Structure 1
Amino acid sequence: MSASLREVREARKFGLRELARALEVDPRLLSQWELGIRVPPVEEVARILGYLRVDRAVTNRILALAQHVKDPNWLDSNPSDLPAALTGVMQCERSASLITNWSPQIIPGLLQTPDYARTLLSASETKAEVVDARLVARLKRQRILSGYEPVRLKAIISELAIREVVGEAGTMSDQIDHLLALGVTSNISVRIVPADVGYHPGKIGMFALYDFPSDPSIVFLEHHHASAFVNELEAIASYRKLVKVLLDKALSEDVSRELLREAAR
């Protein structure tokens, strides 16, 4: 539903702030509706579709989604069994102009090889069909890094994630080779934070900061069985400061590549 709302707005050539102003809605709230972070009331969905003059068939389809979005049976019928937060993450990734990702323990999902990703997914899920579905979704997400207008990605990774042995023999070396290959592309920056830099606030956990061409920025926090989207201005400013701290501690791209080559041996 959230993705559909954004698609119809963009199809009508409306900017998010422009539509929010016309509907007298806070642009941050409208952004949250379009990203699946918050659920809009059905009447607000109808008002948006009416203002955009969306045709009846599309309107009925989106309204049906809006009416059932909180129905657990509707949600449980998802055949891919993907986490609910993943919808918002995928929408953020597709819409962002810049993604800044801090990963203190594992390689970021957008940069994972299939074998590395499967090993991680299998560690927390025993059903093979669920692992397969989530693996396919993760690999599809990586398409934003290539193509006509690829998203820019700043990946800040702890050395601990590089040194951690994941999977069978060859899985980790293949993963590091993959990082080396991606790190030389013009839209991807890979920088490593050495393990011996001491304590810093980034050790608390991983996060992704999404910057959009015109929409307010969003931070996504991910843990084992919980996740959260944050868009309060004060919180975003705090995470930007944390990014600066991490970049100050990180090795340059060239030195990071040297460390990766050494780790792959």
Structure 2
Amino acid sequence: MTSTGLTTYVGPAGDHNDRAMAAVRIVGEAMARRLGAEPTVIGTPVPSDPQSWEIELERARGPLGELAARIDAVMADGLVPVSAITRCAVALATQPVVARHRPDAVVVWLDAHGDINVPGDTTTGFLGGMALSGPLGWWDSGLGAGVGHAVLVGSRDLDPSEAEHVRSGRVELVEVGPDLGDRLASVIAGRPVYFHLDCDVLEPGLVQTDYQVARGLSLEDLHACAEAAAQHEVIGVEVGEFEGDGRATADELIAALDPLFGS
């Protein structure tokens, strides 16, 4: 990986609780130790107050716009954006910017959930459940779109509409199981990679997360996915939904991603 622009986003993004807004700094500090870089901090934590997706999006729009400008500046300077983010909904701001700079890239989305609901089919009204479909251009968040290719990895708690999107081929799914890294590398198929990690893709208890979904990835599986991505050009990394250390620490989590960061 070439030189990086490290960012920690601590603001709101459709939060169910306040834990990620506090714990994200732990991930940012672990990234800083690995990369030898000082993060730029964007946003201000605010008390969570779960509401419908429209209200949550408007509450977060200002700081998410600041984050989008930061990612744009990083990429305009020829740096690779590496970000510690609170929630998956932050991708509504980051990924359209990445797509504008690198429309040839594929988003590799590691998440127990698909996050590809749209306003017309969401059963929960949760902003995070539409975090990838917005950048894909399936609905208008007002923060942009442009992602042309996305691959779900480890997603195993899919709503019926999300499962139908997978069956129809609108997005690809690489399931948990043997040879995970090899199967992911085959699907990436030589394209540049933007790597998104929602920590709930991991086996419950490895780190603290809002959701606990059984049959998740081990740290070894995560490392294999990072190795698969690192066989290609890695154009960015973001890590979200971390609420605290579990059986693994933030440093161990970032160590599992080490292939993404190169020498």
TM-score over 0.5 for the pair: no
> Could you state the TM-score of these two structures normalised by the residue count of structure 2?
0.31
Structure number with the higher helix fraction is 1
